[in-house]
Amino acid sequence: MANLEQTLVLVKPDGVSRGLVGEIITRFERIGLKITAMKMILPKHGDVDRHYELTEEWMQGVYEKAKKKYADLGQKFPYSDHKSYGESIKTGLVEFLKSGPIVAIVLEGEQSVALVRKLVGATEPMSAPPGTIRGDFSLDSYALSNAQNRPLRNLIHASGTVEEAKKEVAIWFTDAELHHYEHVLGSALYNSSFFLPKK
């Protein structure tokens, strides 16, 4: 049985202004994901604020990921408090997302949450492997973004878990904006008898 999930992608203002929307969507379409909703919007403060919830877990994650990268490079991480670090990232992130239009997309397919994260790559483009969206189209780093006191310009957001995806889809789309239609690839990917000899 297929385990179809929905996941939310936002092409951030850097991805839109660099003209990478088509490149990014192509990668999701060609792997077999179905687009069930899509729109370009200038985000409202409240929506971005709800999207990036300032939880203890998020602040800790943002802090630890950056700290690890500095340690891997043999450098001292110049911040000691995950709360103030996380809060300043969040403030910058909200302003960044509101700085220009973004493209919000809902994608559906087999284990789409993890699959899309794989295609997107690591948070820091400089560490994201070639072949991933962030690895192929950006060279931004913690070092550069922290020196410039701004969030990483990593082109795209993708939901981290199925639960997060549900919350995020509901922030950006109404039920009426989620489309139901037959995707031709669905048969080749999910129909168990599709490649059996026809009787």
Q: Which amino acids are annotated catalytic?
A: 157
Asked whether the beta carbons of 33 and 110 are under 8 A apart, the reply is no
Question: Cβ(195)–Cβ(7) under 8 Å?
Answer: no
For residue 151, state whether it binds ligand ADP (rule: CB under 6 A). yes
DSSP category for residue 193: T
Residue 62 makes contact with ligand ADP by CB under 6 A: yes
For 26, residues 6+ apart whose C-beta sits below 8 A from its C-beta are none
By the rule CB under 6 A, 93 interacts with ligand ADP: yes
* Number of Cβ atoms within 10 Å of the Cβ of 169: 20
Q: Which one of 16, 66, 103, 115 is in contact with ligand ADP (CB under 6 A)?
A: 66
By CB under 6 A, tell whether 94 contacts ligand ADP: no
Q: Cα(9)–Cα(104) distance, rounded to whole angstroms?
A: 6
Phi first, then psi, for residue 188 (nearest 5°) are -65, -30
- Tell me the window of 58-66, 99-107, 171-179, 184-192 that interacts with ligand ADP (CB under 6 A): 58-66
Judged by CB under 6 A, the residue of 116, 154, 169, 172 near ligand ADP is 154
Q: Which residues bind ligand ADP (CB under 6 A)?
A: 61-62, 66, 89, 93, 123, 142, 145-146, 151-152, 154, 157, 160
